[in-house]
Amino acid sequence: MKYNTMSDAIKSKVIGVDVRVARTTLAVVDQRGNILATDSFPTTDYPDVNNFLTILSERIVMIAENNGGFENIRSVGISAPSSNYMTGCIENAGNIPWKGIIPLAAMLRDRIGLAVALGNDAHITALGEHVYGAAHGMQNFIVVSLGHGGLGSCLFCNGIPHLGTNGSAGEMGHTCIVDGGRLCNCGSRGCLEAYVADRGIVQTAKEMMDETGQATMMHEAKELSPKAIAECCKKGDELAIEVFRRTGEILGLGLANVASILDPEAIILADEPTEVFKWLIGPTKDSFDRHVFQNIKDKVKLVVSELKSDERDVLGAAALAWTVKEYSLFK
**Which residues contact Zn ion by CB under 5 A?**
174, 184, 186, 188, 191
Q: Which residues contact 45 (CB under 8 A, 6 or more apart)?
A: none
Q: Give the number of other CB atoms < 10 A from CB of residue 299.
A: 12
Among residues 254 and 316, whose Cβ is nearest to Zn ion? 254
- Chain centroid, CA 80 distance in Å: 9
Query: Is residue 14 within a helix (H) or strand (E), and if so which, with residue range?
Result: strand 13-19
Strand order in the sheet with 89-91: 83-84, 89-91, 101-102
Q: Which is nearer to Zn ion, 185 or 260 (CB)?
A: 185
Least Cβ distance, residue 78 to Zn ion (angstroms)? 24
**Smallest distance, Zn ion to C-beta of residue 286, A:** 25
CB of 287 to Zn ion, least distance (A): 20
Nearer to Zn ion, 78 or 192 (CB): 192
Compute the distance between CA of residue 253 and CA of residue 176 in angstroms, rounded to an integer.
11
Asked whether 77 and 317 are in contact (CB, 8 A), the reply is yes
Whole-angstrom Cα distance, residue 278 to residue 36? 33
Instruction: Give Cα separations from 28 to 34, 60, 134, 231 (angstroms).
Output: 8, 9, 23, 37
Nearer to Zn ion (CB atom), residue 83 or residue 305: 83
Q: Least distance from C-beta 188 to Zn ion, angstroms?
A: 5
The distance of closest approach from Cβ of residue 57 to Zn ion in the complex, given in angstroms and rounded to an integer, is: 34
Tell me how far, at minimum, the Cβ of 202 lies from Zn ion, in Å. 17
Q: Long-range contacts for 150-154 (Cβ within 8 Å, ≥24 apart)?
A: 150/185, 150/193, 150/197, 150/199, 151/192, 151/193, 151/196, 151/197, 152/120, 152/121, 152/122, 152/125, 153/122, 153/258, 154/120, 154/122, 154/123, 154/125, 154/126
Closest to 124 in 3D by CA, of 80, 171, 75: 80
Query: CA-to-CA distance for 8 and 306, rounded, in angstroms?
Result: 39
| Structural contact between residues 265 and 143, judged by C-beta atoms closer than 8 angstroms | no
Q: Which helix (H) or strand (E) holds 143?
A: strand 141-147
Q: Residue 111 class from Cβ within 10 Å (0-12 exposed, 13-18 middle, 19+ buried)?
A: middle
Residue closer to Zn ion (CB basis): 137 or 187: 187
Choice between 153 and 216, CB closer to Zn ion: 153
Q: How far is the CB of 195 from Zn ion (least distance, A)?
A: 11
Provide, rounded to whole angstroms, the least separation between the CB of residue 193 and Zn ion.
5
Q: Which is nearer to Zn ion, 172 or 191 (CB)?
A: 191
In terms of CB distance, is 74 or 182 closer to Zn ion? 182
Is 143 or 184 the residue whose CB approaches Zn ion more closely?
Answer: 184
Closest contact distance (angstroms) between CB of 231 and Zn ion is 28
